[in-house]
Structure 1
Amino acid sequence: MIKQSRRDFLAAAAAGSAAIAAPSILRAQALVLRWADGQPATHPSPQSAVKAGTEIKEKTGGRIDVQSFPNGQLGSSRDMVESVASGALTMVTEGAAQLGQFVPQLSIIEAPYIWKDAAHMTRALKSPLIDELNKALVEKRGMRMIGVNYYGVRHLTSGKKPINSVEDMKGFKLRVPEVDTFRAMAEAWGARPTPLNFSELYLALSQGAVDGQENPLPTIASAKLAEVQKYLVLTAHIITPRLVIVNEAAWQKIPQADRAVIVAAVDKAAAWQDNEILEQEKSLADSLGKQGMTVTTPDNEAFRKPVLATVPAKFESKWGKGLWDRIQAL
């Protein structure tokens, strides 16, 4: 009987301890970081977010839980960036040109023909230039860059019409992202720019609402655009970096040691993504050709010339006088 009473006492004591500890358990719940991306889950960009999230959770002992939302689940590119600015969303991976709506200078790092090659882009984005642009983003819009990814070299595709020269772009309905530099590039070619969110692209191409689009090879492949586009035109008109952006107020609430863990994990995942995309780019043109696309290489200088004749001058006041030449010199 005495043993039974002791067991009852211990059980009651345990229950009481659990009740007292419950508020502490609630306080110790993981900090959730919601990370959005417009690319499908099969693309290296959302995959790198998952890799970074796994490492962050492990290195922080579960204190930080990164939830990945690929495929534009949380809205258009513009919607997601605006959500990060407002604090409704913690993080997004997005193209620099899209962020130009918040800090105009940022769109220059995704301008057509600004980069000589991927190494030139990497060199520039590790220079003090990126610190200056980041400072402006924090001060003006309450967002911060914590990572840079290589997204790839952008090329054209066409549904019905072969594109052998820039003259073939006259009147061509070209889907472009909802940013002004891309529209200006299309206009310089004589095309009719049609801004569309990426999540709407496949349907628009399949229905003939637009004639074609432009994106890096891994994006063309992961979005299965070969199913609705016949021609792949290797114009190599833009080398695109994508930026990992975080809401500044949310960032400042994270302890410094955990911020260091996040940045290290984002950098490590970015290195994986950069290599993955470079590897894919080596073989995807051939692979897309085997899927039925006709692959052509036009006179790229003919595409470059009208763009460089108009776009840098048109956007100089937006980017800042001399910034284009400064980047070219890096």
Structure 2
Amino acid sequence: MSLVHRRTLLARGLASGVAGAALPLFAIGTRPARAAAFSLKLANNSPVTHPQSVRQQQAADRIRQATNGQVDIQLFPNNQLGSDTDMLSQLRSGAIDFFTLSGLILSTLVPPASINGVGFAFKDYDTVWKAMDGKLGGYVRGEIDKRGLIAFDKMWDNGFRQITSSTHPIKLPSDLKGFKIRVPVSPLWTSMFQALGASPISINFSEVYSALQTKIAEGQENPLSLIQIAKLYEVQKYVSMTSHMWDGFWLLANKRGFSSLPADVQAIVAREMNQSALQERADIAALNGSVAGDLQAKGLVFVEVDKPAFRDALKQAGFYAEWKRKFGDQAWAILESEVGTLS
């Protein structure tokens, strides 16, 4: 029986009072476990050992337990189901049910979703979570909803991003002139590095290692935790501590499919996934505290940078003015209310 058909039959049963549906769907925990009524797919682009994958699997396990085995969420980590753009397309069509994606990549469908990635906007995590759990995050979720997707309340942390290089240390904006840097498939990333004088190349994460290994790109930028987990230190020599943007993942659901689930199932899934998101944030914070020493031991040379010089370069290049126009006055006002004046 197809998933959609099973959903329809169960929903009808609930509406008509069949099979004890007058009670909450999974309130009767004494019944023997049966084959799952809802088999759902959750995809991400993180390695299986990344805290995101670990915590999502734990959430899936808790959801299965809380629903007496009736909701089975199968996790497909590490781009197993395709590139980010492939999986976003699958999510929209309903081929997969849930997908965690960077807001900066989601911006190809939902332009305001990249606003958290404005260069040098966030100074620390306190500022990030106040904004993304508050007004700025609420605004972006509303925009995502308009495109037929649902974004869960709590974003997952990907971290502040740092620049790595195989050729020379990046200390000042001038060091990026002509530098071939891999960036995700996102207009904001491309725009920022072009404003800094670099030559950005848009490549999906699944191809980053090989692009660096074959010198298609001289460098890339990612959080330290991902540089470690993806072993990018094997093909890079320097890491510049720019913290040039904060990036996080929205846990997205296909709106049509998620809304067809019984209300109590929706509540359980949202509760457990949001709990795991908070746990993953703590994991990344702990990982950031230990990963630098490990990367240094593996040969990466850490480089301190002049952050104000990079921010000034973006301002002088018109980067902030350009993105204020693109995001619009309302979105930009919400951002600046959280992080201070940029433009």
Alignment TM-score > 0.5, same fold: yes
Give how far 1:322 is off: 4.3
1:105 corresponds in structure 2 to 112
> 88, 97, 105: which one pairs with 1:90?
97
Amino acid at match of 1:93: T
Offset from partner CA, 1:78-105 (integer Å, 9 cap, x none) = 1111211121211111100111112211
Amino acid at match of 1:325: A
Give how far 1:188 is off: 1.4
Native 8 Å contact 1:35 1:92 kept in 2: yes
Structure 1 segments of 4+ aligned residues over 3 angstroms from their partners:
27-30
Amino acid at match of 1:145: A
- Normalising by structure 2, we get a TM-score of 0.85
- Give the secondary structure class of the aligned counterpart of 1:237: coil
Amino acid at match of 1:324: W
Larger gyration radius, structure 1 or structure 2 = 1
Offset from partner CA, 1:90-127 (integer Å, 9 cap, x none) = 11111001111122111112222222321112111222
Name the stretch that deviates more: 97-106 or 212-221. Answer: 97-106
Correspondence 1:276 to 2:294: no
1:198 corresponds in structure 2 to 205
Alignment of 1:240-319 (within 5 A): 240-309=247-316, 310-319=318-327
Native 8 Å contact 1:226 1:288 kept in 2: yes
Alignment of 1:1-330 (within 5 A): 29-139=36-146, 141-146=147-152, 147-309=154-316, 310-330=318-338
Q: Tell me the distance in 1 between the aligned counterparts of 2:36 and 2:75.
A: 18
Give how far 1:66 is off: 0.9
Give how far 1:307 is off: 2.1
Q: Tell me the distance in 2 between the aligned counterparts of 1:289 and 1:126.
A: 33
Offset from partner CA, 1:163-201 (integer Å, 9 cap, x none) = 232211111000000000000111111100000000000
1:16 corresponds in structure 2 to none
Amino acid at match of 2:101: E
- Normalising by structure 1, we get a TM-score of 0.88
Q: Tell me the distance in 2 between the aligned counterparts of 1:329 and 1:138.
A: 23
Q: Tell me the distance in 2 between the aligned counterparts of 1:136 and 1:203.
A: 35
Determine what percentage of the aligned residue pairs are the same residue: 33
Native 8 Å contact 2:240 2:305 kept in 1: yes
Q: Tell me the distance in 1 between the aligned counterparts of 2:250 and 2:235.
A: 29
Offset from partner CA, 1:8-43 (integer Å, 9 cap, x none) = xxxxxxxxxxxxxxxxx9x96331121111111111
Q: Tell me the distance in 1 between the aligned counterparts of 2:127 and 2:76.
A: 31
Amino acid at match of 2:148: G
Q: Tell me the distance in 1 between the aligned counterparts of 2:137 and 2:39.
A: 27
Q: Tell me the distance in 2 between the aligned counterparts of 1:95 and 1:39.
A: 11
Q: Which has the higher helix share?
A: 1
Native 8 Å contact 2:136 2:334 kept in 1: no
Root-mean-square deviation over aligned CA pairs: 1.6
Taking a change above 3 Å as real, the CA distance of residues 71 and 200 of structure 1, as seen in their structure-2 partners, is same
Amino acid at match of 2:333: D
Q: Which runs of 5+ in 2 are unaligned?
A: 1-31, 339-343
Give how far 1:255 is off: 0.9
Give how far 1:155 is off: 0.2
Amino acid at match of 2:62: E
Aligned residues: 304
- Give the secondary structure class of the aligned counterpart of 2:78: coil
- Give the secondary structure class of the aligned counterpart of 1:190: coil
Q: Tell me the distance in 1 between the aligned counterparts of 2:143 and 2:98.
A: 18
Offset from partner CA, 1:249-280 (integer Å, 9 cap, x none) = 11111111111111111111111110110111
Native 8 Å contact 1:36 1:68 kept in 2: yes
Q: Tell me the distance in 2 between the aligned counterparts of 1:133 and 1:173.
A: 31
